Amino acid sequence: MSAVAPRIRDLTEAQFHATYGCDRFAATVLGNRLEYVLEHICQRLLACAFSPLLRDFYDFAATITGPPQIGYPTPVVSKSFMAFTGTMTESVRNTIEEYGPENLQPGDVIIGNDPYRIGTHVNDVLFCRPIFHDGRLAAFVTLKAHQLDIGGSVPGGFSVTKTSSYENGLVLSPRALVKAGVPQRETWSLIIDNARFAPVLVRDMQTICDCLDLGEALIQTSLTRYGYDALLGAMRYVCDADAERMTTALARIPDGQWKGEALVDCDGLDDKEEFPVRCTITKRGERIEIDLSGTARQARTSINGTFLDVKATVGVALKFMFDPNGRFTSGMYRSVDIVIPDGAICSALPPEGVVFAYGESTNALLLAMLQAMANAIGDDAVAGDVGSPFLHTARGVNADGSMWIAVGVAGGEAGAWGATRAGDADSYSKFYQANSIDTAIETSEADSPVVILRREYLTDTGGPGFNRGGASVLKDSTFMLPAAHNLITLRFKQPTGKGVLGGGDGGMGGVWLWHPQSGERYAARGTGPASYLVAVRVAGRLDKDSAQPSVTGEYHWFGREPEWPTAAGALWRYVTPGGGGWGDALSRDPERVKRDVRDGYVSIDGARRDYAVVVRGDPAQDPEGLIVDTAATQRLRAMRHG
């Protein structure tokens, strides 16, 4: 019987130094220093990028990875787009191994973007900078950044009608963008010749290379001060500590097996085939297995993801549930086994299993995992969120003949989170795996011919609970020029904001379009029932009579129009799904319910219906004069409890 390895905290100073090549103080300083390096890299890219997706949306991530001789550990990831950082624990290894570590030189930048090699989609290009010290490969500083366009059949790429990877855009196998400090003209030309908006791409890629220069300079400072062995030891220490945190967290919950499922409504061909994402989670001792057997086959259009996206999602879900305060490193996966069937929607194979809108299946997996484990982890349970990016892309031609494009500014890109034991959920955040920035309205309107008319929360849409889920968000946008629109709305058939521990589900969502009336430049539309009756019902499960979201409504499929053309002045409305509630709504403090009524999250009728709280007064005319009818509330709650 083998001896159990001692915990890191139990190592003597001599044992620690022998294991990691430095003392505890140096390992801690270096671990924090690596995070500091990534913060500087990301801040520089945010400040200097040209594409709105980078400078305004934070659609990128950075990591530092160790060299091949210690197994490519990833001790630090940026506090940015989490779906990227999870894939980067493997994509750096895959890229460098294929390119050949022996071919690397100081000053190189190696790139790649193939989803089947590095995860996510072709617009997300991986930029790897090897760092040498005294002739030895010491680390890689890496950025994965979304490029505004990478070619393919649809400008910007955001379409779920593509049925083959050959329509998707330029695929870059691992190759040098910069070699020994010298830009490689053939690689730059390959990209420029195949991508739209080339002037923006060139400036962004130059900026990214500059950010990698900064990262190398900062890491070289640490190498000079602490030495090669200490840096590599600190990388291993940070990953080992994270692995310990995860095994310790897993050991605290009882062994068992749990199942979860979430639904991707359909693909881009028709609405007849649904795509459930299923997981079976088995926990034994300090190990956990996530088995995706039974998940739907790969879709016929570009809503698929890859096995690397699954790995990233599993990591995010486990951190949410078991170690929300710990670092995200490659070490966390040591106690985790993932079983993924080939050719599933989240592990697609080329060329028919085309990958672009990978976030649809992966966030469905994340929500399925949260639901599966909710009762097992008790108070640490996390309710469901908005469920999807709900991306809207519009494009057209300016008066001077130049093309404009607006990505992620007129759809449902920000919405509700689910409640936790920490409190009520936020109502205006990116979906769980994004952690990116919401583009400022002024910036969106300056970059493209869009006017943002309304963004507001909807009453009675946050999942009821001891802690309330985030509210649905209503967003109205109008375009001042003729445009073609591509929508990705694949999570409307079922509530995505599932409640936990007795909490209620969040509200349903939908999309509507008002074409301009004769001579109308643009006009706001009301939010009352009559307004919806004259709108085009684009997407969502909508009531047959009122055209508003309903769990029993008729399903409307956005893909019946592969592309939605509009004249100048058309208005789009998105209502995002609400977040799930946490805990029994009948145990929520009536004073908290009264505040929700005052603030517009809950109506007086909703307070009575969902929380058994009787609120008296007029929230519109006298919000501070509201009172709780304590006696009536006690009687109503007693009746509800039976």
Question: What is the spatial distance between Cα 529 and Cα 27, in angstroms, rounded to a whole number?
Answer: 62
d(CA 234, CA 240): 10
Contact call for residues 642 and 617 (beta carbons, < 8 A): no
pLDDT at 494 exceeding the cut of 90: yes
- Which pLDDT does position 475 carry in this prediction? 96
Q: Please give the Cα distance from 140 to 132 (Å, whole number).
A: 9
Left (φ > 0), alpha (ψ -120 to 50) or beta: where does 152 sit? left
Q: What is the pLDDT of residues 310-342, one digit of tens each?
A: 999 999 999 999 999 999 999 999 999 999 999
Q: Phi-psi category of 110—alpha, beta or left, where left has phi over 0 and alpha has psi -120 to 50?
A: beta
Q: What is the pLDDT of residues 173-188, one digit of tens each?
A: 999 999 999 999 999 9
- The answer to whether the CB of 226 falls within 8 A of the CB of 233 is no
Query: Residue 562 pLDDT more than 60?
Result: yes
Q: Give tens-digit pLDDT for 161-173.
A: 999 999 999 999 9
Mean pLDDT (whole number) for 113-138: 97
Cα 28 from Cα 235, distance rounded (Å): 10
**Helices and strands counted in the chain (H then E):** 15, 23
Both structure tokens of 639: 């009746």
Question: pLDDT grade, residue 2 (50/70/90)?
Answer: very low
Contacts of 249 (CB under 8 A, 6+ apart): 322, 323
Answer whether residue 246 shows pLDDT above 80.
yes
User: Which tokens go with 3?
Assistant: 């001896």
**Percent residues over pLDDT 70 in the chain:** 99
Tell me how far apart the alpha carbons of residues 602 and 471 are, in angstroms, rounded to a whole number: 9
* pLDDT exceeds cutoff 90 at 128: yes
Instruction: Tell me: pLDDT of 642 over 80.
Output: no
What average pLDDT does the chain have? Answer: 94
Predicted pLDDT of residue 519: 66
Q: Are strands 136-146 and 60-65 parallel, antiparallel or unpaired?
A: antiparallel
Q: Which amino acid is present at 102?
A: E
CB 463 within 8 A of CB 383: yes
Q: What is the mean pLDDT of residues 502-530?
A: 88
Q: Tokens 């190592």 correspond to what residue?
A: 11
The average pLDDT across 351-356 equals 95
Burial letters 533-553, b for 16+ CB under 10 A, else e: eebbbbbbbbbeeebbbbeeb
Arithmetic mean of pLDDT, 183-207: 96
> 105: Cβ–Cβ under 8 A, 6 or more apart, which residues?
130, 179, 180
* pLDDT given for residue 437 in this prediction: 80
Res. 4 pLDDT band, cuts 50 70 90: low
Distance, CA of 379 to CA of 362 (rounded, Å): 24
- What residue ranges do the domains of the chain occupy? 8-243, 382-584, 589-640
Instruction: Tell me which residue of 435, 417, 436, 441 sits closest to 427, measured CA to CA.
Output: 417
Q: With cut-offs at 50, 70 and 90, classify the pLDDT of residue 438.
A: confident
Contact 266, 274 (CB under 8 A): yes
pLDDT computed for residue 1 by the predictor: 39
Question: Which of 434, 433, 444 lies closest to 409, judged by CA?
Answer: 444
The distance from CA 103 to its chain's CA centroid, rounded to whole angstroms, is: 34
Residue of 33, 79, 36, 34 lying closest to 60 (CA atoms) = 79
Name the amino acid, one letter, at 139: A
Q: What is the pLDDT of residues 380-431, one digit of tens each?
A: 999 999 999 899 999 999 999 999 999 988 999 999 999 999 999 999 999 9
Query: Which percentage of the chain shows pLDDT scores above 90?
Result: 89
- Of 182, 184, 94, 171, give the one whose Cα is nearest residue 140: 94
Confidence of residue 20 (pLDDT cuts 50, 70, 90): very high
